[in-house]
Chains A and B, each alone.
Chain A
Amino acid sequence: MGAVVAAAYALQPDPRILKRMTYHFLEFFKERIRELVHTMQANISLRKRMTFLARLVNAVSLDQTDFLYSSLSRIFGRARFSDCKIPCSVVAASLNGEIVVLSEGYLVDAVAASAAVPGAFPPLRLGGRWLVDGGVLSVIPVDVTRQMGAELVIASHVGYFSPRREFTDILDYAVYLDDMKGEILAKMELENADLIMDFRDIKVPWYRFDLAENIMEKAHQIMEEQEFRYRLEKAMKKRRRGRSSRRVVEP
């Protein structure tokens, strides 16, 4: 989802437009979002459960529609990276284990690859590689951002993870452990960020698009509580000081 928000913002750097677009998206795909939540929660009858399992072993993803690509096409149309008003790159993971940084071509292709949660949505073939959600290999791509030349890296941690000892079935247990791995990876990556915004208190799984409005409200509240503006200014000052002292030692 980070890629979707980043690319949309890079294309139209105005939070009000982004918010309007989000509401439009939620309204337009209301029914399909409801279906997605239903499928992901696996809160379904035995017959549907069988269909769900059959899809796991016969198809490339649980979602049998082109929900992901068509919804992203509505947002990005035929816009390209070169149309972005601020520089933007998107991180995806290849099924061969490489972190792939996409920064040219159609935004919709790159974002769809980056958002293709394995098992839920089909992988996307780009540049001869099968790509899935970048979060598989890099939950919060702080290092990639540095390599791109960012001087100040603000990391947003939205991981949803809550320890528990009861699991409904194999999938539930496997997803729980995978989320825990994500949390371990995220912690390691956050060590290199200049400023961390911790939104984990929101406690919402990735597929709950239906709760978008509550999420935005809660996120604002958290930013106030965590004094985001004050910490951002402090981090920027620290960065500037670092830069000026570096200039002194440079030959």
Chain B
Amino acid sequence: MRICLVVDVEHALKTLDFLNGLEDFEEHRLIGAGFGALILAMVKAHGSLARARRHVIKEKEKLHEYFSMRETFTLEGVVKSILATLMKRVATKSASKLREHVKEVLKGVPVEGINVLVFDILAGEEKELTTNEENAFDVLAAALSFPPVYEPVKIEDSLYCNLTYMTGVPKSTSCDLLALGVCEEEDDTPKTAVSIMERADKLRTSAIMKKRLILHEKVVKLDSSKMKL
């Protein structure tokens, strides 16, 4: 069975528990999108689910700081974005910085054979990539790259970003079972132009996601409420 993990950093422990609950999870073809890709890489780099879990608990603050897609529009985030915009940069952090973060989390191990879903921003569609010794950190960085924090990641002639930022979930043809991290919906009213733009952007992603979810036959929802990092 092809199982796709579409989760954010908040769902890390729930995702590891989900994998633990699967009978012989290595028998399935696992694919990761967004932080799901890094979870698969961490499991392989650390050798087992239990060790990956310990690593997640130990490094929780770092993981959150590097890879959380939430709260990008805090005052600090906005100030950084303004400075980056004035300096005519496309993100507050470079793609090479993101690559360094990935390398650090994986203790420098270029994990091979991880199936990753990313969004190709030139072709305008999702793409599945598999890590190898040469491209592992780049492919994983591509899966995690979300604007306005990170630049898109260049691999060969293509430019990639985080699939979950673009479409929320992959196409139904990409997997047989979707393990989806769900977050509480925001119900406050945004009050500034930048927060209204951010909300509209998220709403557009969720509109695509809702249409795609109807076509997915099996979906397991992993909530973050009980097991936040």
Query: Which one, B82, B85, B200, contacts A132 given CB within 8 A?
Result: B200
Residue B1 at the chain A interface, CB threshold 8 Å: no
User: Which residues 86-136 of A have a CB within 8 angstroms of B?
Assistant: 93, 95-97, 118-119, 123, 130, 132-133, 136
Residue A180 at the chain B interface, CB threshold 8 Å: yes
Query: Which one, B90, B148, B200, B208, contacts A184 given CB within 8 A?
Result: B208
A–B complex contacts, Cβ < 8 Å, 19 sampled: A49-B86, A56-B193, A59-B192, A60-B191, A62-B193, A93-B200, A97-B206, A118-B196, A118-B199, A119-B193, A169-B85, A170-B81, A170-B148, A176-B121, A177-B165, A180-B124, A181-B167, A184-B166, A184-B208
- Number of contacting residues on B, CB 8 A? 43
Residue B84 at the chain A interface, CB threshold 8 Å: yes
Nearest chain-B residue to A189 (Cβ)?
A: B211
A residues apposed to B, CB below 8 Å: 46, 49-50, 53, 55-62, 93, 95-97, 118-119, 123, 130, 132-133, 136-138, 161, 163-165, 167-174, 176-178, 180-185, 188
Cβ-Cβ contact count across A and B, 8 Å cutoff? 128
Nearest chain-A residue to B148 (Cβ)?
A: A170
Q: Which residues of B contact A97 (CB under 8 A)?
A: 185, 203, 206
Nearest chain-B residue to A97 (Cβ)?
A: B203
Nearest chain-B residue to A168 (Cβ)?
A: B88
Query: Which one, B84, B199, B203, contacts A170 given CB within 8 A?
Result: B84
| CA gap between A174 and B197 in the complex, in Å | 10
| CA gap between A55 and B200 in the complex, in Å | 17
Q: Which residues of B contact A165 (CB under 8 A)?
A: 122, 159
Q: Which residues of B contact A50 (CB under 8 A)?
A: 86
